[in-house]
Amino acid sequence: MLVRDAMSTVVLTIGPAHTLRQAARLMSARRIGAAVVLDPDTCGLGILTERDVLISVGHGEDPDRETAGSHTTTDVVFAAPEWTLEEAATAMVRGGFRHLVVLEGDAPVGIVSVRDIIRCWSGQSARPREAAAVAG
């Protein structure tokens, strides 16, 4: 089975100036655990996960003042839609993370999570495919 078969096509894209509270609200509303952070000044893609928000709050930081850009992982390992789920799982284990941004060319087309892979391997039905979501 391939990453394209398991990935969520709900790609929440936020900017580095979004606060952690704004990011958490958007992720919560869409029931997703990660957002792609697009920084137009650096032309870079990063990822902000629910764990990043949790760590910040756990350190006593104010989610209304902390920005996504300050907590974004920028050394992201990207997956391709044609990767096998085994390749994605290996990359996750090797990197110690639970989400991979899926790129086609230079554009994010999905996110695959550990949960997505387990769902496929256990034979559970996949989540419905949805259109990409962009937060302004």
Taken in order of first residue, the domains within the chain and their CATH numbers are 3-134 (3.10.580.10)
Instruction: Spell 47-75 as b/e; 16+ CB within 10 A means b.
Output: bbbbebbeebeeeeeeeeebbbbebbbee
* 136 has a pLDDT exceeding 60: no
Q: Give the β-pairing of 107-113 and 34-39.
A: unpaired
Residue 131 has what pLDDT? 41
Q: Give the β-pairing of 99-104 and 78-79.
A: parallel
Average pLDDT of the chain, as a whole number: 89
Tokens read off for 65: 């003042």
Residue 120 has what pLDDT? 93
Q: Give the β-pairing of 34-39 and 12-14.
A: parallel
- pLDDT tier for residue 129 given thresholds of 50, 70 and 90: very low
pLDDT, tens digit (0-9, with 9 covering 90-100), for 10-60: 899 999 999 999 999 999 999 999 999 998 787 689 999 999 999 999 999
- Percent of the chain having pLDDT more than 90? 74
pTM for the model stands at 0.83
